[in-house]
Structure 1
Amino acid sequence: MSTTKIGLLSLTALVFSSMVGSGVFSLPQNMAFVANGQALLIAWLITGVGILFLAFALLYLTRQRPDLDGGIYNYAREGFGELIGFCSAWGYWLCTTIGIVGYVVIAFSGIGMFTDRPDHVYFGDGNTLYALIGSSIFVWMIHWLVSRGIKEASLVNLIATIAKIVPIVIFIVFSFLAFKLDLFKLNYFDFSLQVPVWEQVRNLMLITLWVFTGIEGAVVLSSRAKNRNDIGRATVLGVLLALSFYVLVTVLSYGVTSRPEIASMHNPSMATILEQLIGLPGTIIITLGLIISVSSSYLSWTLFATEIPFLAAKNKAFPQIFLKTNQNNVPIASLWLTSIVVQISLIAVCFFDKNYTQLLLISSVMILLPYFLVSAFYLKESWKNKRAKHISIALVAVIYASWLLYAAGLSLLLLSGCLYVIGLVIFFYSRYSNKIKVHHPL
């Protein structure tokens, strides 16, 4: 049952689903707000090359080092030591946990588009009391589903992934039919932002990073894969599929509506654009797609968040309690930790009246260190083995990861640094408690 391994299709769906969550539905507005068509194409070119080389880095590492499961944590640990490995695991766990809180908030904000009225707001921006009750029920339903087994949860995710592709494809088809080349050229040469093109490209980098966060999904669950070669394949297939959708959604939008108009839209902006093309059904299709999409992404990210503390605890970087599994071979202590932290965060979102946008930005910055360390480890392994092809791929991946760190900006990097410092308390506690057990066994 739950010990059954995950196949290529389900692994690819996990990678795709973890990347394609809420971000795609807001991409047109998010990008139009900071960039013209010229910067948009340059940013996608840089991101496309960079993210594909990062995917190749993950693919080749799974083949070069089949002894290392869990990727994000164990690659950093093997290449740069216990402390750096812990930082990678801690940053990744924080990224996933913060991210999934954002997903559930956005899901109930989407439901509010169907239920809220001017005289009575039920779900609002996903931060009302009704939203808290509904999202709490959702969190513990997912908790129960994951506790039944990783394999079972991945099958549910596969079905949901197929369901959320449909509204994106509908948007792409109608946008393609309505596309006007003259309008796209107008948006391409739109200099009304009065910001240098290269600065616009830099501003787009964290947006493009956020929508690709999750590229490592198959690697994180590598110990659950039916065939180790499927891990790398699923990563590259998931990235290519997501990249195709992202580029089509944003580029076609610039050929349907003017950039300033897209920039002023409420999110999910895909719903507004599709409503202009086919009427009210456009809003309904995209909003339902958004709800399904973030729900399945929440499930994917819960699987990742559950796995990382378990892997780190195996090497004594996290407290040993996270080694505990249930009868379905699920790291149950990690699952409880993730669900409880998400629940507390949802309560905070409700009572502090936040919409979680800033924390989603912090979440994307927290993943920068793990991505850089994966690329750097691949470069280190390739250099050691003197393989020119792999050294070249690794160098591009490292340059892309370094560029993302630059694009993040000093303030967000300092904030993420503070969160990493907090994690050091857990690391040193884990090392100390394990040392005590060694010297004073029961």
Structure 2
Amino acid sequence: MSGAHAAERASGGAPVRLTLPTLTAMVVGSMVGAGVFSLPSRFSESTGVAGALIAWVIAGTGMLMLAFVFQMLAVRRPDLDAGVYAYAKAGFGEYLGFFAAFGYWASACVGNVTYWVLIMSTLGALFPALGDGDTLLAVGLSSAGLWGFFLLVRRGVREATAINRVVTVAKLVPILVFVVLALFLLDPAVFADNLTGTADAGTLFDQVRGTMLVTVFVFLGVEGASVYSRHAARREDVGRATVLGFLSVFAVFASVTLVSYGIMPMEEIAALRQPSMAGVLAHAVGPWGTVFVSAGLIVSVLGAYLAWTLMAAEVLFVAARDDDMPRFLRRSNAADVPVPALVMTTALSQAVLVVTLFSEDAFDFALNMTSALTLIPFLLAALFAVKVARGPAAGAGAGASRGALAIAVLATAYTAFLLYAAGLKYVLVSLIVYAPATVLFVKVRREQGRRLFTPAELAVCAVSVAGAAAGVAALATGLITL
């Protein structure tokens, strides 16, 4: 019996086995959420058709490399559960592994906030008191939704993943209908006018760079099957689900972006309130387009929220089970749900919801923060893949090893470019989130009666604290704003 299974038995939970279709649905369900409904305006703010095509080629290639990385690591290192976190720890030690676990978990919590903000913004078109999802009433209703889903997920993993399969199918329908209708109604003249960016958009490189955090956000979840690997019926299904889910979603995301340029001038698309997909369709077919997309959005976002809540709690649980998070987080109930980790996940999302009351643009802030928090865990996973690819692989020839190394290097280069594209603002704000997490690391070491930091770990801690201090100072002086 494996360590994961033993932990499940010891905690009173029954093992849960997920098949290839269910794992693929987890990947698709994780990626298709709030982001796709915001793509038209987010891209139009930065670039035209040409820049969008280049951005999707870069993002698609880079994320495909990351998908292949997770596929390769699932096969070559089947002993590692919880994906991103486990890979960082195995490659670079306990402290950076802890940071990856915390950062990935925090990004999921912040990402969950974007879902509630977008739902309230959508309903705000009918109920002005909800505003753009950042009013006191909107935050109150979102908070009720947060804790309602907590009660649902607490009932059990089997029940939650079964709901996710149904929701994944349901939410794809309105998105695909949007693409088909927009393609049928596409105006070639409008599309041609939107070919290049606006005069003040900067160079083509600047335009493409401006879209990168958006593409990161919409592709978050590509690692979904890897995070839930301890529940896979067959280990090889983890990698297959990752690639299948990614390719399906990539085609949908690129299509949604490009067909929108043929419906309205890009300046008008950029000015639309979120969800901008609703505004584009309403312009093409009338008011019913808003209702249609809004209904699809609510189903889609709630499904993605469910998937991300499951994954966020799973990361904390597995990290605690491996003695990298405090012991109280390793407890699970009879339904195999890590309840303390679930409580902590919901609580952080609640805290970020409150912060949105003080941000200039609640949705954009939460979206960009989610992307930035994820980049460090992704970079560490890609670097670990480079180390694994350079080593011997059972049954793999020299050509296969060289191919795996090339994929890992490309994934690393892409993730490093994303950090550059994010800019100093979001790197510093991310460190404000990362640095205090060291308190949990210290608690773990004290529980184990071990030395708090090695010299290398102390150096990493010093860098993170210095970055967090710089971020706080920049916020206090107004050099950066939320």
Aligned residue number for residue 177 of structure 2: 170
> Quick check: 1:402 aligned with 2:409?
no
Matched, 1:45 2:52: no
1: CA distance, partners of 2:175 / 2:280: 12
User: Which of the numbers 11, 16, 19 marks the counterpart of 2:28?
Assistant: 16
Q: CA deviation at 1:352?
A: 8.0
CA distance in 2, matches of 1:100, 1:2: 28
Higher relative contact order (CA 8 A, sep 6+): 1
1:350, distance to aligned residue in structure 2 (A): 5.2
**Counterpart among 260, 271, 274 of residue 278 in structure 2:** 271
| 1:417 matched residue in structure 2 | 431
Name the structure 2 match of 1:355.
362
Query: Structure 1 residues 328, 95: closer, same or farther in 2, change over 3 A?
Result: same
Q: Per-residue CA shift, 1:35-64, capped at 9, x if unaligned?
A: 121111111111111011110000111001
Partner of 1:86: 98
Task: Give the drift of 1:336.
Answer: 1.3
Give the unaligned 5+ runs of structure 1: 438-442
Matching residue within 212, 228, 238 for 2:235: 228
> Aligned residue for 1:109?
121
Q: What is the CA-CA distance between 1:191 and the residue it aligns to?
A: 4.7
SS at match of 1:367: helix
* Bigger Cα displacement from structure 2, 292-301 vs 386-395: 386-395
Distance 1:238 1:87, change over 3 A: same
| 8 A contact 1:2–1:149 mirrored in 2 | no
* CA displacement, residues 206-231 of structure 1 (integer Å, 9 cap, x when unaligned): 11111111111111110011221111
TM-superposed CA distance for 1:294, in Å, is 1.2
Q: SS of the counterpart of 1:188?
A: coil
**Alignment length, in residue pairs?**
432
CA drift of 1:348 comes to 4.7
The answer to whether the Cα contact below 8 Å between 1:270 and 1:286 also exists between their aligned partners in 2 is: yes
Distance in 2, matches of 1:327 and 1:60, equals 33
Q: SS in structure 1 opposite 2:181? A: helix
**Matching residue within 388, 393, 397 for 1:381:** 388
Verify the 8 A CA contact 1:59 1:235 in the aligned structure 2.
yes
Change (3 A) 1:348 1:190: closer
Match of 1:440 in 2: none
Q: Given that residues 35 and 193 in structure 1 are in contact (C-alpha distance below 8 angstroms), is that contact kept between their aligned partners in structure 2? A: no
Residue identity in the other structure for 1:77: K
Selected match of 1:67 from 73, 76, 79: 79
Give the % identical residues: 39
Structure 2: gaps (5+ residues): 1-12, 393-397, 452-482
Distance 1:184 1:397, change over 3 A: same
> What is the match of residue 312 of structure 2?
305
TM-score (norm 2): 0.85
Match of 2:223 in 1: 216
Distance (Å, rounded) in 2 between the aligned partners of 1:60 and 1:266: 41
1:152 is the counterpart of 2:159? yes
* Structure 2 equivalent of residue 203 of structure 1: 210
Q: Is the CA contact 1:319–1:430 (under 8 Å) kept in the aligned structure 2?
A: yes
Q: 2:195 aligns with which of 164, 188, 195?
A: 188
Instruction: Kindly state the Cα deviation for residue 312 of structure 1 after the two structures are TM-superposed.
Output: 1.1
In the alignment, what sits opposite 1:427?
Answer: 441
Greater mean alpha carbon deviation, residues 407-416 or residues 40-49 = 407-416
1:144-194 Cα offsets, whole Å, 9 max, x none, are 221121121011111111111111111111111112334323211345235
Query: CA separation of 1:38/1:356 partners in 2, compared to 1, >3 Å: closer, same or farther?
Result: closer
Between the aligned partners of 2:147 and 2:310, the Cα distance in structure 1 is 14
Aligned to 2:476: none
The answer (yes or no) to whether the contact 2:47–2:196 under 8 Å persists in 1 is no
1:286 maps to which residue? Answer: 293
**Structure 2 residue matching 1:193: 3-state secondary structure:** helix
Distance 1:103 1:336 in 2: 18
What secondary structure is seen at the aligned counterpart in 1 of 2:50?
helix
SS in 1 for 2:215: helix
Which range moves more in the overlay, 137-146 or 47-56? 137-146
Q: Distance in 2 between matches of 1:68 and 1:288?
A: 39
User: CA–CA distance in 1 between the matches of 2:201 and 2:301?
Assistant: 35
**TM-score normalised by structure 1 residue count:** 0.93
- CA drift at 1:280: 1.2
- Is residue 37–residue 187 contact of structure 1 (8 Å, CA) maintained in 2? yes
| Mapped contact 1:57–1:393 kept (Cα < 8 A) | yes
> Which AA in structure 2 matches 1:135?
S
Query: Following TM superposition, by how much is the alpha carbon of 1:281 offset from its aligned partner in structure 2, in angstroms?
Result: 1.1
Is the partner of 1:21 in helix, strand or coil? Answer: coil
Match of 1:341 in 2: 348
Q: Which residue of 2 aligns with 1:325?
A: 332
Greater shift in the superposed pair: 93-102 or 134-143: 134-143
Partner Cα distance (2:189, 2:294) in 1: 29
Aligned to 1:127: 134
Supply the RMSD in Å over aligned alpha carbons: 2.0
